[in-house]
Amino acid sequence: MKISIYNNYDKMSRAAADLVAEQLVNKPDSLICFPSGESPTGMLQHVISYANAGKIKLDKCHFIGLDEWVGMDETNEGSCKHYLYTNFFNKLNINDSQITLFNAKADDLKAECERINNFIAKKGGLDMMIVGIGMNGHLGLNEPGTPFNLYAHLSELDPVTVTVGQKYFKQETRLTQGITLGLQHLTEAKIPVLIASGSKKASIINEALNGQISTDVPASILQNLPAARILLDEDAASELEHLA
């Protein structure tokens, strides 16, 4: 893995957008996974700017969502789907045929996981998979204890995720399960990317990148991925004991 540290959130976000732009120039029909949450917003804004300026074209690529809260769709403002449409897809009028997201309200969620797995496989795998990191070290909704070799799956949400997840909702919301791409997807992605910012992430970043590789800290899997790109702002990197 390669760790890059930037002065602030905006510079980190621009660097992440540059990776996306480079990928799209090299392979216009790329399959790219975007996360939701606080971390990717700046990156998405820069990608939008690049597209509007004609620096990149998005007409041949395909986007896939990282995860979703079970039982939610775009009508829930805290849903991943609402976030991606509001902050990215709608701003560029991305065609729905280019977008694949989890249906977290499907009657058969295991079948939904298989639909996503099959879609990725038929596309030849993920060209780029971008993730953030949770306060408990999760990637997507791969919670502590999740085996590294899982593809898309249902997850029982960790109490830390349930608590932190409330920030995405205007009122307290019951969160129990998630549906998510798996860590095996990250392992197989041609370019796995982690973005993180803020001092609140500093401790878990150090544990993930310098600690023992263990399912107790899902993000520690990045130490096993030579192609992984780790993009941090100075605050998120402030507790790194050494550059792994």
Looking at the annotation, which residues are catalytic?
Answer: 67, 136, 138, 143
Q: Which two tokens stand for residue 81?
A: 């789907």
126, 190 contact by CB (below 8 A) = yes
Q: Up-side HSE of residue 92: CA atoms within 13 Å toward CB? A: 25
Q: In 118-199, at which residue ranges do the beta strands (DSSP E only) sit?
A: 128-131, 153-156, 177-180, 191-196
| Helical spans, DSSP H, in 105-229 | 109-122, 159-165, 183-188, 202-210
Rounded to 10°, the helix 9-26/41-52 angle is 50
Task: Label each residue of 199-221 as H, E or C.
Answer: HHHHHHHHHHHHCCCCCCCHHHH
Number of DSSP helices (H) and strands (E) in the chain, helices first = 8, 10
DSSP state of 157: P
